[in-house]
Amino acid sequence: MSLPAVVPAPVSIEAGSGAPFRLSSDTVVNGDTDAATALSAIVEARTGLTLATGEGRDIELRVDAGAGAAESYRIAADEASVVVTGADAAGLFYGVQTLGQLIARDGYGWTIPAVTIEDAPRFAYRGVMLDVARHFHPVETVIGYIDRAASLKFNALHLHLTDDQGWRIQLHSRPELTEKASGTSVGGGPGGFYTKADYRAIVQYAASRHMIVVPEIDMPGHTHAVGLAYPELAEDPSISDHMREIIRDYGGEEPRVGAPYDGMAVGFSSLKIHDEATYDFVADVFGELAAMTPGPYLHFGGDESLSTSDEDFAVFVARASGIIADLGKTPVAWHEAGAAAGIADTTIGQYWGFLTPQEGAAEKATAFVDNGARLILSPADAIYLDMKYPDGPELGLTWANGPTSVQRAYSWEPSLVVPGIDDSGILGVEAPLWTETIRTAADIDTMAFPRAAAAAEAGWSPATGASALRTWASFRERVGALGPLWKSMGIGFHPSDEIPWATE
């Protein structure tokens, strides 16, 4: 008997020998209210059926704190009943997501196969990143992305809130950031920003889906927008021949002091490293952001500071990471910051280099682990979701060894990316989606799905080789089986010809 398709692959799945459980309008779901609501929404979207609630035990959803590790769950389904047990509320929620994937059409009806699943995550941190600086995306789009990501057991939403093109978060301590620096995006499109109420709504909605929000304020580079609001804090743009090449390739004008920037070149901006007013600004920004963010992480960027000397970069990284640590938060930085002596030793590094590290990237990333912290892995040539597909639309870029196939997004092993860094040094996996070419919610769906599912499996499932399911051949069949569910949930995935998509 073939196993039902589940993504990400569970720790263990065993098909039962009996008849399936049949769903109908008389099916009763009992137990945890939040989980029942989540399940009912999936069932209605997939089947059109409305589950009843009450004292029946057709489908039972429960939390048992002694049932396993954090976020783990168990599903036991047979002809008579379905029981989903989570070790905590998050585990029960993830069990419900898996149960939704198990629903299959049987003639004119719907069934859940007889099956036993035991499951728990490999890594504690499983994230997606959405860049809302290059193109701004409204609250409803972010909430939609949260729903989609949570269905694949991601538990962190990293919001890239600032860049050269715009500042996207309202702060009462620095009101001119949104008054003067939020109105543009790449290509001259409209900008925008989140009010404090908007941000609170995103954080609260994410929490309802067992996700934290990780806000990023990128600095000391990627800060041209800061100079529009507070010119006394920013250095004049530094234009290299490489940046001129990018401008020639992608269009736009060279950045100018005091003028909004809507191009795609990077590395020309910097804060003033030796001015104490800069660190007053950093303290104001992260202090207010810390009060708005219940999650443990604040991301201060630190990437592509090409116009900041190595010595000045080290000074800034030490000061900024220390300010965040003193707020009681855990700093996060892109891997370049690992080269800076004096960085707060709690700082998490985010590796965005290639699957085969280049130009000292591995050494910089390793420095975080040597300090006693860990890494988030975001290999650009595997799970940067903004890279073009080989067979897809014109959306996306190709600089990360692109185009990036679904197979390449899947076929990598986290413990083999940075030499010498095994699971003990890895906090988790994150799939970034940069938005130079991504303007709409439909664009996000197209670029993220199905490749986000590959990243989800790298973060959740057993290591490559530790499970018969952890192969490309298995994954392409399993993710293809999700096509009807994704369609019913309104996910406009890219119908890659690498995947044998089920039609029902």
* DSSP per position, 175-212: THHHHHHSSB-GGG-B---B-HHHHHHHHHHHHHTT-E
The owner of tokens 């392409």 is 476
Continuous segment of H or E residues that includes residue 391: none
Q: Among all residues, which ones are annotated catalytic?
A: 304
| Cβ(110)–Cβ(22) below 8 Å | yes
* DSSP per position, 241-305: HHHHHHHHHH------TTS---S---S---B-TT-HHHHHHHHHHHHHHHHH--SSEEEEE----
| Cβ(319)–Cβ(337) below 8 Å | no
Residues 6+ apart with CB under 8 A from 250: 263, 264, 265, 436
Continuous segment of H or E residues that includes residue 29: strand 28-31
Spatial CA neighbour of 191 closest among 262, 283, 124: 262
Look up residue 151 and give its two tokens. Answer: 């269905």
Within its chain, how far is the Cα of 324 from the centroid? 22
Continuous segment of H or E residues that includes residue 417: none
Spatial CA neighbour of 461 closest among 451, 450, 471, 447: 471
